[in-house]
Structure 1
Amino acid sequence: MTSETVMRTYECPRETDSLEFGRRLGERLRAGDLVLLAGPLGAGKTVLARGIAAGMGVTGRVASPTFVLARVHRPATGGGDAALVHVDAYRLTTLDELDDLDLDTDLTDAAVVVEWGEGVAERLGDEYLVVRLRRRDDDVREITLEPHGPSWIERVAL
């Protein structure tokens, strides 16, 4: 089975729907997971990341890490087991800059969610999930899950 055979697209008419979708995804994440959020500016990547954080039960305000590049959110008491490393790769211009973030080390005890990471961050893991976001003219977000690797193919149905 290939990733193309299990790609699924969901519609989120409201921001609360995107947050809920992210929450359900976050509940499924575990240490070692790599998720790449792909889509144009304003598609809802950071909103989805906030939902993922809620589903993981981590602490801290989730905002776009554009200027700090990466933020670590630790599990709250009674939350999940894995930390969330939220990365914005938009400003990265080379693979060496990605390596400098040492994200492969973070993958041992955290789920890593990378905005603008497609084409750069895939090399951090053999298995990863690409989440494609598109904002239609009617303001509905379309979210397409594209799993890469057997564990993601099994978990892709939300």
Structure 2
Amino acid sequence: RGGAAIAFVCELDERVRELWVVSSDNDGGEGTMVARGDIVAGPNAVGLDNDLIALGERTDAGRHVLRVRRIADGSVAAELGPGLTAAWTPSRPFLVVAANDRRGRCQLWAVELASPHRRSQLTYLETGNMRTCAVSPDGKWAVSSAEGAPEPTLVFTDLSRVRFEH
């Protein structure tokens, strides 16, 4: 976003990828490796201020967790719990996250960036969602595709209805 930096993923093998960031005015200098491992970055993974990125990362125990990393040095700014990919919402204090429900089906969730990272389930699809999501530029809608639908099906979720229980 904004052209300040270019992020790209180098796939070393099917389980190891590196996420690198270079300045858009880079004149051949080195970039910064932000993360390495079994990582996934969705299409809206970079934060609005270009300083954070949300990544789905497989842990040593085999679980997928969503980590927010600082682009400048790759350090972890927040670990948001289960998650595969995420999309930032403009001017809202949460991310839209694709994560599995208790039945192992991918659903969309709103997850607060601030601790304790409360989450609110947004979709309840029987077959689940695809493992990626996006947020409209105005922040009013989250969108994903239904998994296993007989024909391509987009799922829109009204983000103005998001509520977190205390």
TM-score range, shorter chain: under 0.3
More helix by share: 1
- Structure number with the bigger relative contact order (C-alpha 8 A, sep ≥ 6) is 1
More strand by share: 2
In our comparison, the structure showing a higher alpha carbon Rg is 2
